Each structure stands twice: as structure tokens, then as C-alpha cells.
Amino acid sequence: MERTLILLKPDAVQRGLVGKVLSRFEEKGLKIVALKLMKITPELAAKHYESHKERKFYPGLVKFMTSSPVVAIALEGIDAVKICRTLMGATFGADAAPGTIRGDFGVSRSFNLVHGSDSPEAAQRELGLFFPENTLHYDYAAYGWIYDPIEELKKG
């Protein structure tokens, strides 16, 4: 099982899309292992987006991400990073395919509703930033109806 971080950004929260967006991940079969509504501090935003620090859009990004609450979500599932990124769609809503979160709810180049870790390594780093208290481990009954154990064992 892989874990990933999803952030429902200020625009998703302010537009009342939290439930609709979260349901996309749950309906796909991903397990919620941590969830919180929070206000990102400038310090946390700086750590989270440190790889973009030299880019022209960085100050605006930090200002946007600290402007309103976000919902931080830790999700678990086989290939969770890849699945989440597919569900999110292309970065800019106008370029995102219908049926994706950004394709269905977004049009802006600035407000793209959701952040998702771009690799398992990034997910581990980001989960540590947003959930320093750790995430939960629990039996998830739905896994028996989501994953075919024989097929998953064949994959290794």
C-alpha cells in the first residue's frame, strides 16, 4: 500500500467543493488515513513549496495557500499517487479532461482546487509536514471489495 497527500486548496474550500472532491477519492477506493481542516502558516507553505522558491509565481502561491483554510488528506491504496494524480487531471482546469476534478470544477490557471504529491518520495516528505502526528493504521473492510487479492499477489 502506498500513501499520498492531497490538499484541497482554498478555492475548493471557499467554493464548497470539499465533499464532492473528497468523494471522488473515496469512490475510487482510496482509504482515508488522516484528514484535517487547517490554516497553512507562511512557514509551512515555505517548506512545502521550497522547490519553487526561485520561481516567479512563488510569492503569489504562498499568499494564495495561506489565504484561507485547506483540507489536508492522507490517502492510502495501491498506486495511490498515480491514481490521485489521474483523478485530479491536468494542472490547469481549462486543459483538464472532463471527468477529472479539475476538468469538472476548474477553469483558472491560478486556482486549481487540489494538490497531490507527485511521487511516493514527495508524498512521504509532504505527509510528514502536514501530519507530523502520523496517520492511522486500521483495517478497511472495503479493501476486500476493491482489490482482488489473487491478482494483487501476482503483481508481487
Is position 52 annotated as part of the catalytic site? no
Which grid cell is 139? 483495517
Least Cα distance to 28 among 116, 129, 124 occurs for: 116
At 64, list the grid cell.
494564495
Query: Which residue in 48, 52, 115, 137 is the catalytic one?
Result: 115
Cell of 55: 520561481
DSSP H helices, the chain, are 10-14, 18-28, 42-48, 58-65, 80-88, 101-105, 120-130, 143-146, 149-155
Give the C-alpha separation, 44 to 42, whole Å: 6
Residue entry with cell 502526528: 133
Catalytic residues: 115
